Amino acid sequence: MKIAVSIPNTLFESAETLARQRHLTRSALYAQALTEFLKLHRSEEITAQLNQVYGKQSDGVDPALARLQSLSLPSEQW
């Protein structure tokens, strides 16, 4: 798909230099850059969603479980 975007001249020139150095077409460079950008933000979105879910849960041990664990240990004298 063809699109038209406006970017600062300095950014364009830097991108052109990088594309030449890596032997990429301009389209390939911009496609790679956009792919990486989208991966990064998708990852951040997933992290935010996980934080929202797990942020609501207690991070402590259930008191009943802690009691059962302590009862399962043999009694020792020091």
Q: Which of 19, 20, 21 is nearest to 29 (CA)?
A: 19
In this prediction, residue 66 carries a pLDDT of 83
- What is the residue extent of each domain of the chain? 27-54
Q: Which residue has the tokens 């933000």?
A: 41
pLDDT one-digit tens code per residue, 47-69: 888 888 887 776 677 888 888 88
CB-based contact 15:28 (threshold 8 Å)? no
Q: Considering only residues 38 and 58, tell me which one the structure prediction assigns the higher pLDDT.
A: 38
Q: Please state whether the predicted TM-score (pTM) of the whole model is above 0.95.
A: no
